[in-house]
Amino acid sequence: GAVVSQHPSRVICKSGTSVKIECRSLDFQATTMFWYRQFPKKSLMLMATSNEGSKATYEQGVEKDKFLINHASLTLSTLTVTSAHPEDSSFYICSARNRGGTEAFFGQGTRLTVV
């Protein structure tokens, strides 16, 4: 299957700083990428959907100015958590789908801890 690489796998940052998470499709062109947040023992909450070259579409309740998503190329999308606070600590997962694809492929996830 297709490979999606997410980096970093773990990050610890200080409150008030910003953190960038990268999501790369290694062997296919990801026309659509999805960013999810997963709370402990909970399901995945879709944060936003991004199509290459377009602005991301955010789900209701997700602050677009806090969670900046960029999808500038067909192989890379980034999620930047700006001015992070402890409540932003979570497991963030990206997934990618190519044009006409029926399934999405997932990255390994990023464990963000804000101290």
Q: What are the DSSP E strand ranges found in the chain?
A: 4-7, 10-13, 19-25, 32-38, 44-51, 57-58, 67-73, 76-81, 90-97, 105-106, 110-114
Binding mask 35-64 for other proteins (x = CB under 8 A): ------xxxx-x--x-x-------------
Nearest-10 Cα torsion for 113, 109, 4, 94: -80
- Please, which of residues 72-111 interact with other proteins by CB under 8 A? 91, 93, 95, 97-109, 111
- Please, which of residues 15-34 interact with other proteins by CB under 8 A? 31-32, 34
- Shortest reach from residue 79's CB to other proteins, in Å: 14
Which residues contact other proteins by CB under 8 A? 1, 4, 6, 31-32, 34, 41-44, 46, 49, 51, 91, 93, 95, 97-109, 111
